[in-house]
Amino acid sequence: MPLASIPSPSQGVWHLGVVPIRAYALCIVLGVIVAVIMGERRWRARGGAPGTIVDLAVWAVPFGLVGGRLYHVITDWQLYFGPDAPNEPIEALFIWNGGLGIWGAVALGALGVWFGCRSRGISLSAVADTVAPGIAVAQAIGRWGNYFNQELFGRPTDLPWGLEIDPDRPGTVPGEATYHPTFLYESIWDLGLALVLIWAGRRFALRHGRVFALYVAGYTVGRFWIEGLRVDTAHHIFGLRLNQWTSVILFVAALVYFWYAGRKTGEESVGVTPELALEGAGGVDPAHPSDEADDAEKAGDAREDDRPEGRAEPADVTSEPAGVTSELAPGGAGAVDPAHPSDQADEAEKAEKAGTPGASREEIAVRTAAEGEKERP
């Protein structure tokens, strides 16, 4: 008998009236919520528009659930369609009973994200790098659904953290009460992987899908040895379980892509935020663009362009010369009335200046007129 052990929950389903509340489903939903929140924060920090990851999750979640279930049913078809299948064929649709293949979920979920990225004009690789740590955390949370369902445990062990499993559960060994808590191993591994991804992405400025490739490589390493502890029914090829072979292939593919993507230097599109759009337009108020400027502004600019180069702006005709007042101007030397220039002075004034002293203006005017008659032919 082990000195200590981890007890399994007595039930994994609760009923709210006639509505069943399943722990497995709650763990999946909680994992998705945490992944979206983490992705949103990382996407905004990268310069993307708020709400982008939420919108992409609308594509990713349903695609991922279908893909995960398909992978499980295809790789474990004998559980539903074999001659001695323990489940009815219709139960292949009962996702709440457990059974989601991570690689099917990632593959089809990525297809859904690709559709969303195309519609928004953003880079799929940038999104993949952003959500990779969140996916690892979501898996860490989702694995606790296996704990409530008492499934996917490892071989028997007497370690103090051995997991107690009911003797009537599939995969149990007669006479054994505790098994390796593979759900816990993978949950801890995934949390550690998420921290490594966040650190590596910042430390080495990984871009172009390299963080996601690192996630795939890191997860497959952990999944390979954890899968080797499990005792549930699985297909074996050359002594290894099918999921172990899948892990080996994906690990190699991730390393190849990680090396290949390191040679990329182009920019990845994260879309256009309102702030970037305003900055790209030169800071122009979108409510008052330059091509709709006020008519007065346009007219002023036209006058500036029509003025000859080097010509000064004409002075205000109502202003007076500096240092001269309207009272002093008439009395100054050589002052001329602008309305009565000297070259057009009255003949009477000319005669007055040259005439006999003491003569009146009338006499001078008569004399001037007489002289003018004499000069006329």
Binding-site residues from annotation: 143
Distances from the Cα of 148 to the Cα of 10, 27, 86, 163, 236, angstroms: 8, 10, 20, 12, 27
**End-to-end Cα separation, the chain, in angstroms:** 156
Cα(18)–Cα(127) distance, integer angstroms: 40
Cα(221)–Cα(140) distance, integer angstroms: 15
Cα(175)–Cα(194) distance, integer angstroms: 38
Question: Which residue from 132, 133, 96 is spatially nearest to 113, judged by alpha carbons?
Answer: 132
